[in-house]
Structure 1
Amino acid sequence: MKRRIGGVWEDLRQCDDATEDYFKDKLHMSPWVFREIAETLWASGDTYESGTCSFGIGRKSGLVAVRDVTSALLSAYRDKISWPTLLQKAVVLRAFADKGFPNCHGCIDCTHIFIEKPANCPGEDYYDKKRRFSVQAQVVVDLNLCVLDVFVGYPGSCHDLRIVHLSSLWARAEAGELFTWPPVMLPFGVRTNGYLLADSGVSQHPSEIRFDNKQKAARGAVERAFGRLKGMWRLFLRSHKTNMETLPQQFVAVCILHNIVIDAGISFDDNLLWEVGPNGVRRKVDLGMHRPLRQMCMESSTGDALILWDALAERMGTQ
């Protein structure tokens, strides 16, 4: 059976015999979306030919296939994960404004990608709070669950805030490349060109419950996005052996597929977010979104963030 893995291209005549259920159960997408992706990658030019079939493929051939598919996706869809501009930016901002957060550009959070103990690396660096080896992925999403930015690679022991400061996202924000929309005036004379909605982790006064509830409702997009992404590509739900050099590119490639499937309007099966535990009881799967063991105190938050937080809470309280 001829197979061009680099272009994610198998002879499509083989797929003609597959049922709709096959694509739904195995690939979590419709046949026409799969064919669109395959044809786009084929047109990208890079190919890898192998005589192996997709069933019973050896480990070495499997690693080559993953590498080549990842490379093809990153090449063919290099702009599929991008910071929104113009009309798309206006749509994103309008959606957040309707939720009570004017000039908000997205929601941000981290998720753990569980791995087996990495070779040739200090294992303790990758040991997280749940005593599992992991790498963290920082992701920004909009309210449609589309990935706008992704940054992967820091060990599971690294704090979310430190990852933000080390990420390319922070550098681009500091350079004035991200929050370029006209400023919005908030109560107390606060002016903001834009911000990302994160988990506050700050103890709040009862009078700010309205703000807290709205923040949790808007930020639910992050958990739903991680649920959809990891639920469809379940490799990232479990500890698995991986190549630490290529893992970031593989996760970005999955985020690209995630956006393609959303753009195609393919629904998500919520049953993928449930599993039967060792005790036989049905439970939600662990998405690797570990909250801090204790809330941050006010003094540990930046002054600008607290000022913005107070202004948004005041604005909501007067509406």
Structure 2
Amino acid sequence: MDYLHYFDYLRHFDTLEMEDEEPPRKKKVYKTRFDPFSLEEDEFRSKYRFTKKYVKYVVDLIREDIKQTKKGGGISVELQVCTALRVWARQEVQDDAADIHGMSQQSITVVCRRVAVALAKRAAQFIYMPRTLEEEEVVMAGFRSICGFRHVVGAIDCTHIKIKKVGGDNAQYYINRKGVSSINVQVVCDSKLQIRDIVAHWRGSTHDSRIFRESRIRQRFENGEFHGRLLGDAGYGLTNYLFTPVQNPNNIKEESYNKAHILTRNPIERCFGVWKQRFRCLLHGFSVSLENAKTYLVALAVLHNIAMKMGENAEIEIFETGNQPPPLHQEQRQAADNTTGQIARQLFIRTYF
């Protein structure tokens, strides 16, 4: 091979090597993460609807469950909690929350799920019926202070939380009587609007009385774990541990009982109002998966109870407290009363009214 052909061969070989080389990787660029705690207290509360003290309490509560290493762009615990609270409390579009906090929309979804799971794991720590006779007496005293209605340990009702349309063969069962896909959430609260028990997995078409009938809280009352009783609307069946209003009262005592029943049961209506005002996502519904929605409901109940104990969003409670007691739910079919319940209610009316 002469020199000219040899040099042509080398140039051709170098060209092939250059064509086979991979293009240089782009350097990963991390978005600038916003530090919410750099804000002044008033501005912080305006943006997140909670005080720094409340958010720091939640951060410390679930820190070990959601902390990440900073290697690879891990998100701090503080930023994760603030982001989730902003999405839930302000019902903010995830894309907007992502831009504000320097994350992708996918990261917001992951963060909210991670925070919700960590909070739901601690449900038993913050959501519980009275565990001792002394605790039960305190709860009953709270209800009695409203208008003298005795032996009440909880007010019970259900509320529908809108969810995105569910696919599959069971989709129709999630559609409630208003034609909207929802989860029918059962809650028992005390006179201070704290959630004492929650059932957050029933389909929207399920009647309130069935949810209670198949709930663990009913079994606990059946087993005689509590000295007090529940108050429910006409959609529930009357028992000796769950008192409902008297349909078509015949005398002054029964009318007085009904008025006292409405006032004493009113905390559950107020509880729903405060809960939904505190977390606007409950008013407008969830656009996440069904399983995530169920987890979010329990997590938001935990956050609500923490907020009530810490006096957060006090102006919401004042606003809701001024509402008039709701009328009886005439649109709900009345569940069957049992004989023992009728006897117990009549004895109660004759004794105290």
Aligned to 1:198: 232
91 and 271 in structure 1: CA distance in 2 versus 1, 3 angstrom threshold: closer
Q: Is the 8 A contact 2:155 2:231 kept in 1?
A: yes
- Is 1:158 equivalent to 2:213 in the alignment? no
Aligned to 1:219: 265
Which of residues 33, 45, 49 is equivalent to 1:28?
49
| Structure 1 ranges of 4+ moved more than 6 A | 271-274
Report the CA distance between 1:62 and its aligned residue: 2.2
Instruction: Report SS of the residue matched to 2:290.
Output: coil
Q: Is the 8 A contact 1:202 1:296 kept in 2?
A: no
Aligned-residue sequence identity (percent) comes to 25
Report the CA distance between 1:165 and its aligned residue: 0.9
Aligned to 2:160: 112
Aligned to 1:73: 119
Q: Distance in 1 between matches of 2:246 and 2:288?
A: 36
Q: Distance in 2 between matches of 1:290 and 1:240?
A: 28
81 and 94 in structure 1: CA distance in 2 versus 1, 3 angstrom threshold: same
Q: Distance in 1 between matches of 2:319 and 2:203?
A: 25
Letter of the structure 1 residue corresponding to residue 262 of structure 2: K
Q: Kindly tell me the number of residue pairs found equivalent between the two proteins.
A: 280
Aligned to 2:298: 252
Q: TM-score, normalised by structure 2?
A: 0.70
138 and 39 in structure 1: CA distance in 2 versus 1, 3 angstrom threshold: same
Aligned to 2:7: none
> How large is the Cα RMSD of the aligned pairs?
3.2
Q: Is the 8 A contact 1:116 1:133 kept in 2?
A: yes
Q: Distance in 2 between matches of 1:48 and 1:169?
A: 37
Q: Is the 8 A contact 2:129 2:197 kept in 1?
A: yes
Kindly report which structure 2 residues correspond to 1:1-319, keeping only aligned pairs within 5 A, or say none. Answer: 14-42=35-63, 44-48=64-68, 51=74, 55-56=98-99, 57-76=103-122, 78-86=124-132, 87-98=134-145, 99-176=147-224, 178-179=225-226, 193-199=227-233, 200=244, 202-205=246-249, 206-207=251-252, 208-270=254-316, 291-293=329-331, 296=334, 300-317=336-353
- Structure 2 unaligned runs (5+)? 1-28, 84-97, 234-243
- When you count helix as a share of all residues, which structure comes out higher? 2
Q: Is the 8 A contact 1:201 1:295 kept in 2?
A: no
Q: Distance in 2 between matches of 1:96 and 1:258?
A: 20
Instruction: Report SS of the residue matched to 2:191.
Output: coil
Report the CA distance between 1:76 and its aligned residue: 4.7
- Structure 1 unaligned runs (5+)? 4-10, 180-192, 275-283
Q: Distance in 1 between matches of 2:197 and 2:62?
A: 22
Q: Distance in 2 between matches of 1:104 and 1:271?
A: 21
Report the CA distance between 1:77 and its aligned residue: 5.5
39 and 223 in structure 1: CA distance in 2 versus 1, 3 angstrom threshold: same
Aligned to 1:277: none
Q: TM-score, normalised by structure 1?
A: 0.77
